[in-house]
């Protein structure tokens, strides 16, 4: 659903127990919030409760702070983790790239078309090649060449720049460098990577080559949160495309670009709209 | 979600207003119902509120009757239409067929595999051909040949038999007879038809022939509730399959059978699981 | 298949008769052409034969002219229409746009990435808005505002400019003006339009609005050759995307953009690679 | 394409060299065969040529034997492997099952509907459970319980029965026993297995459980020829279906059944229509 100018989104998870839905509904109703859309799920096996509530804030009876305090009180009682976002506050996205531009252009154009509710103040790269693209869109482009020697130092500088730009979330748009554990820990469940295979098949390098050698009839792409273990983070979205014996590695690469673009942009949009909850090594994605 | 042995499903719609979610959550919580899964949507344009709540009834503090009375009280206050189903009460499905068996077999096998939570006590046909299939599955098979002359009388007899079998919902599994308005009105939003095109394209007869003549690259199927206007009822589900110049009408028919089976079985399952709400000429389908 | 630096593609259609395959294979073999990929189809109902042959020209025993003459001789004998293209000669594509840029960017980026084997010397528009995009890619952008009064004159000027640029094929990338019959006749089966519905459903204007009103569960897009009859030309490619009750018209528009991009770019690529043959109001598309 | 009553299909592969297409076309034309449909591909990397030719035999100028002799002569000259099938000769399919019936029913119903051009004289199982299904379709059902001790002996008896029934091809329709290398070697590239994951992901046992644990957003199925290495044979067809956090293992199993049915039936149909060529550990599948 395209959301309205003045809405808030509440995303919660907690150990399953009775009365959570009622308690939250009561708090929101009591503060004059009109619920527009809510989606709730309980993983009965894991005993975990998840909910996403989108509500109209135009006729709130109290201010934002007192509403948040009331939710906080419920959260404490229920052992709940929650996140409250306002449609008026746009998240700030940094895009990391190397030399290929298809995912970068896709995110920039979607943001400009209003599909991605965020600001994009910064593009980071280990190569200077894509600066002209950043320039066209009027976005800062900062280059941090990475070598075995300078990696820790460069990552520290990157983190400084991210902080200076007030970055909330990072999209690795075919960024061909492995981030260190240190770096990743600064943005838990906030760095979205695109891998060009339907993981867990063909993890690691050259997945199209691997796919062609195995003779699969589908190739895919996977967007996941970056974690310490490469290609092992919680999966947000996956899709595939059909291939045939006529497809060379160049054809697979072309087809793959379409899937990568689509899968990465979905994952980023859902993250920006607070539709994704991580638990264990999995995600709950509330569709929209 | 596969639902649990002892769950109930509450499906509601009403004019949108504040406090509906809270009121329902409060009632359920107050009676000891543990909400397992809930999905809510507001059509802000039409000003209509929709919700589906699935809850565990194993630790209800009251009996079913007093819970229903309490919901009824909220419903009256809110101008709400609602429907409350228990997992222990299986809906009763009748299947109408003519001479082709693919949708019939599909529904019967899925029911036997536990995919469709219903009983199927009756198969109705205007031809005797598929009686052996009914026999294999131990289901009553009743033949009502229809002609211009006898249609009203035959439909009356069909309605008697449906009532005698306590039928809740009817699947027209490629039944090649138009039902009268009289008949349809006995089962409003409870007769599910499968049409072999992606409506509104190629309504009426011979859609594969029409599709081939127009040279479309996809053929489809549409499951909808039967209404007075043929092929115009609220759409529950649609899907398509790719075709090529190599496909003869026979190939389109084969591909079409796969889509018809899949689309009809989804629509029937969703109806049986109380996932479908009709408003105007459209449906809200809560996914599962 | 990604084709090789020095290949030619022969595309033929004719009334079906014996010996066509053998005659063409003989001619090609006799001139030293090595067939890399061939795909043949006979519409036995219509009695029409179609073939696409891609061959390696690196070891031709004769020159291009004498090969073409030999094919011509077979063509005359068989009543065949044929088209012979060399990988070294790139087709020249003009893109017509109005105010929306998603299809335009998509074609430009794909061309730059090497997915579309063509030159794009000219972008034509009835509005000045997208000139900056043309500038970024270094392409001529010419504006021809159209009114009821000036349409014939403006179209004549457009045709002059197209001729001056040696244009072979035109993509209407969401160009919001109907071309006159006169204009269309200058480029028979060489103007590719994208319509934002799965035709023949929702032809005419505002297809997303129509789709939402009818409550369909899929929306689509159709690429077809422009003909005198609006939205009635031979379909080259179609695809659909799933929608739900949560989708506003804005959401349908967003989802639709993805399908439009994908469908238009496929149609354009297939046309450029000589994969499309028109007969009657239908196409044969040899996949690749 | 639905093929005609009197057609033959020639399937060839050989090291790539000039003149193959011309030589075959010449032989067929010289014997009065009218080519209806042909599809050819060269893997330029591996240097292998593949072709499938379907031709009308109603006006052959010679008998079948002399045509085959002529093809044989070309084959010898070109180092070609070939296979010539007549539409009048139906292949004989045996189905191996254990306890689940969805793939079995699917193949039997498709065969009866005319989708699979074959006879099915024999169903083999390691359990007696599905005998009633075989009885309904009037097919021999033979039970061979397998234990570690009796496996070689039982497989020998199975091979005898397969030979007695003149079996050409075997479909493992969720047969839960690993075949020995000895057994597999009796039917090279003629035993089709269905695995319930998108291989190479989740090979081995319990793929739905594995899929759920990894949190993938798609589950799939793979049809491949059985080889000595379990789950490693040449892939014929794959497909996937979307899952969500709402899906329990039971839901994945239900969704999986649909994909398994579809993927296995495609693979079997393509094999029966001589559309599949194996080279190395991969397949070329000519679409139809």
Matching residue, tokens 């990465």: A264
- A39 contact residues in B (CB cutoff 8 A): 38-40
- The answer to whether the beta carbons of residues C31 and C82 sit under 8 Å apart is no
- C23 and C125 housed in the same domain: no
Cross-chain residue pair C113–A102, CB shorter than 8 Å = yes
- A200 and A275 housed in the same domain: yes
The percent of residues above 70 in pLDDT, for chain A, comes to 98
For residue B185, give the 3-state DSSP assignment. helix
Computed over every residue of chain D, the mean pLDDT equals 94
- C69 and C102 housed in the same domain: no
Locate the DSSP E strands across chain A.
Answer: 7-15, 34-43, 48-56, 81-86, 91-97, 118-125, 140-143, 169-172, 191-195, 218-225, 235-242, 276-279, 282-285
Instruction: Tell me, yes or no, whether B2 lies in a domain.
Output: no
- B80 and B194 housed in the same domain: no
The nearest CA of chain D is from the CA of A105 a distance in Å of 25
CATH number at residue B256: 3.40.50.170
pLDDT of residue C171: 98
The DSSP secondary-structure symbol of D87 reads T
Helix axis angle for C20-30 and D20-30, nearest 10°, is: 140
CATH number at residue A45: 3.30.70.260
| Known catalytic residue at D63 | no
pLDDT of residue A5: 62
- B250 contact residues in D (CB cutoff 8 A): 2
Domain termination site, one of D27, D58, D86: D86
pLDDT of residue C2: 46
- Please check whether residue A247 touches C, CB under 8 A: yes
Count of the separate structural domains present in chain B: 2
pLDDT of residue C44: 85
Cross-chain residue pair D238–A216, CB shorter than 8 Å = yes
User: At residue A138, does pLDDT exceed 80?
Assistant: yes
Longest dimension (CA), chain B: 63
Candidate list D231, D247, D251, D258, residue with the active-site label: D231
Q: What is the rounded CA–CA span in Å between residue D134 and residue C87?
A: 57
- B231 and B108 housed in the same domain: yes
Task: Give strand pairing partners of A9.
Answer: A54, A85
Long-range contacts of B89-92 (CB under 8 A, 24+ apart): B90/B117, B90/B118, B90/B119, B91/B117, B91/B118, B91/B119, B91/B168, B91/B169, B91/B272, B92/B118, B92/B119, B92/B120, B92/B121, B92/B165, B92/B166, B92/B167, B92/B168, B92/B169
- The answer to whether the beta carbons of residues A192 and A169 sit under 8 Å apart is yes
Q: Which of D22, D26, D34 sits opposite C18 (nearest CB)?
A: D34
**C197: nearest Cα among A265, B198, D139:** B198
Cross-chain residue pair A239–D218, CB shorter than 8 Å = yes
- D276 and D148 housed in the same domain: yes
B50: which 2 tokens? Answer: 């929709």
Band (A2; pLDDT cuts 50, 70, 90):
very low
User: At residue C3, does pLDDT exceed 50?
Assistant: no
The H or E element containing residue C123 is strand C118-125
Q: What is the rounded CA–CA span in Å between residue A173 and residue A264?
A: 8
Q: What is the rounded CA–CA span in Å between residue A22 and residue B226?
A: 38
- D64 and D155 housed in the same domain: no
User: At residue B2, does pLDDT exceed 80?
Assistant: no
- The answer to whether the beta carbons of residues C274 and C85 sit under 8 Å apart is yes
Q: What is the rounded CA–CA span in Å between residue C172 and residue C96?
A: 5
Alpha helices in B165-285 (DSSP H): 181-186, 207-214, 249-272
Cross-chain residue pair C22–D22, CB shorter than 8 Å = yes
pLDDT of residue A3: 47
pLDDT of residue B157: 98
The nearest CA of chain C is from the CA of A175 a distance in Å of 18
- B172 and B221 housed in the same domain: yes
- D109 and D189 housed in the same domain: yes
Residue of C nearest to B279 (CA): C215
Q: What is the rounded CA–CA span in Å between residue C199 and residue D118?
A: 37
- The answer to whether the beta carbons of residues D120 and D94 sit under 8 Å apart is yes
> Average pLDDT of A239-243?
97
Computed over every residue of chain A, the mean pLDDT equals 94
Computed over every residue of chain B, the mean pLDDT equals 94
**Pick among A7, A99, A258 to test the C interface (most C CBs inside 10 A):** A258
B184: which 2 tokens? Answer: 């349809």
Cross-chain residue pair B35–A21, CB shorter than 8 Å = yes
Instruction: Tell me, yes or no, whether B103 lies in a domain.
Output: yes
The H or E element containing residue D170 is strand D169-172
Q: What are the φ and ψ backbone dihedral angles of D155, each rounded to 5 degrees?
A: -65, -35
Domain termination site, one of C61, C86, C111: C86
Instruction: Tell me, yes or no, whether D2 lies in a domain.
Output: no
**D87: nearest Cα among D110, D61, D109, D55:** D55
| Beta-sheet pairing, B48-56 with B7-15 | antiparallel
pLDDT digits (tens, 9 = 90+) for A71-98: 999 999 999 999 999 988 999 999 999 9
Band (B199; pLDDT cuts 50, 70, 90):
very high
The nearest CA of chain C is from the CA of D88 a distance in Å of 20
- The answer to whether the beta carbons of residues D145 and D127 sit under 8 Å apart is yes
> Average pLDDT of A223-240?
94
- B143 and B20 housed in the same domain: no
Cross-chain residue pair A29–B19, CB shorter than 8 Å = yes
pLDDT digits (tens, 9 = 90+) for D117-144: 999 999 999 999 999 999 999 999 999 9
Cross-chain residue pair C245–B285, CB shorter than 8 Å = yes
User: At residue A42, does pLDDT exceed 60?
Assistant: yes
- Please check whether residue C189 touches B, CB under 8 A: no
| Beta-sheet pairing, C140-143 with C118-125 | parallel
- The answer to whether the beta carbons of residues D197 and D219 sit under 8 Å apart is yes
Q: What does the angle CA C163 – CA C168 – CA C174 come to, to the nearest 5 degrees? A: 95
> Average pLDDT of B118-122?
98
pLDDT of residue A160: 98
Q: Is D280 left (phi over 0), alpha (psi -120 to 50) or beta?
A: left
Segments forming the whole domain that contains residue B81: 7-86
The nearest CA of chain D is from the CA of B69 a distance in Å of 30
Instruction: Tell me, yes or no, whether C1 lies in a domain.
Output: no
> Average pLDDT of A274-286?
94
pLDDT of residue D108: 98
> Average pLDDT of A101-105?
97
- B244 contact residues in C (CB cutoff 8 A): 285, 287
User: At residue D284, does pLDDT exceed 50?
Assistant: yes
> Average pLDDT of A17-46?
91
Instruction: Tell me, yes or no, whether D1 lies in a domain.
Output: no
The nearest CA of chain D is from the CA of A201 a distance in Å of 5
Cross-chain residue pair C244–B215, CB shorter than 8 Å = no
Instruction: Tell me, yes or no, whether A1 lies in a domain.
Output: no
Q: Any idea of the CA torsion for A96, A98, A101, A103, to the nearest 10 degrees? A: -40
**C209: nearest Cα among C197, C221, C199:** C197
Candidate list C39, C231, C239, C247, residue with the active-site label: C231
- A103 and A125 housed in the same domain: yes
B204: which 2 tokens? Answer: 């009426």
A65 burial class (0-12, 13-18, 19+ CB within 10 angstroms)? exposed
Domain termination site, one of B20, B53, B86: B86
Q: Which of B41, B218, B245 sits opposite C245 (nearest CB)?
A: B41
User: At residue A278, does pLDDT exceed 80?
Assistant: yes
**Pick among B46, B216, B247 to test the C interface (most C CBs inside 10 A):** B216
Name residues whose C-beta falls within 8 Å of residue D284's C-beta, 6 or more positions apart in sequence.
Answer: A245, D13, D41, D43, D50, D276, D277
Q: What does the angle CA D44 – CA D48 – CA D49 come to, to the nearest 5 degrees? A: 100
Task: Give strand pairing partners of D279.
Answer: D282
Cross-chain residue pair D1–B246, CB shorter than 8 Å = yes
Q: What is the rounded CA–CA span in Å between residue A242 and residue D247?
A: 25
Radius of gyration of chain C (CA): 20
- The answer to whether the beta carbons of residues B227 and B200 sit under 8 Å apart is no
Instruction: Tell me, yes or no, whether D150 lies in a domain.
Output: yes
pLDDT of residue B5: 62
Instruction: Tell me, yes or no, whether C28 lies in a domain.
Output: yes
- A14 and A96 housed in the same domain: no
Q: Which of D22, D36, D39 sits opposite C44 (nearest CB)?
A: D36
Q: What is the rounded CA–CA span in Å between residue B9 and residue B2?
A: 13
Instruction: Count A/B contacts: CB-CB distance under 8 Å.
Output: 60
Q: Which chains touch D (3 or more CB pairs under 8 A)?
A: A, B, C
pLDDT of residue D5: 62
């Amino acid at each position: 659903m395209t959301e309205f100018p003045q809405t808030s989104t509440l995303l919660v998870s907690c150990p399953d127990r009775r009365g959570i839905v009622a308690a939250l509904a009561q708090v929101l109703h009591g503060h004059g919030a009109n619920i527009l859309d809510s989606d709730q799920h309980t993983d009965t096996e894991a005993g975990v409760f998840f909910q996403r509530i989108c509500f109209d804030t135009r006729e709130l009876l109290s201010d934002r702070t007192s509403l948040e305090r009331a939710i906080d009180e419920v959260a404490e009682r229920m052992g709940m983790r929650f996140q409250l976002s306002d449609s008026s506050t746009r998240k700030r996205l940094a895009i990391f790239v190397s030399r290929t531009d298809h995912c970068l252009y896709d995110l920039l154009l979607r943001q400009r078309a209003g599909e991605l509710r965020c600001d994009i103040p910064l593009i980071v790269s280990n190569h200077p090649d894509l600066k002209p693209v950043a320039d066209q869109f009027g976005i800062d482009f900062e280059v941090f060449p990475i070598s075995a020697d300078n990696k820790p130092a460069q990552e520290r500088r990157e983190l400084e720049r991210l902080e200076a730009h007030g970055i909330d979330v990072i999209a690795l748009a075919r960024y061909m460098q492995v981030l260190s554990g240190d770096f990743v820990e600064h943005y838990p469940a906030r760095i979205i990577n695109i891998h060009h295979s339907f993981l867990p098949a063909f993890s690691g390098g050259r997945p199209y080559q691997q796919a062609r050698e195995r003779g699969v009839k589908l190739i895919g792409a996977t967007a996941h949160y970056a974690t310490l273990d490469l290609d092992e983070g919680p999966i947000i979205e996956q899709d595939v495309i059909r291939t045939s014996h006529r497809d060379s590695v160049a054809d697979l690469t072309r087809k793959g670009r379409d899937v990568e673009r689509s899968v990465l942009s979905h994952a980023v949009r859902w993250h920006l709209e607070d539709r994704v909850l991580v638990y264990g090594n999995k995600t709950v994605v509330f569709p929209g």
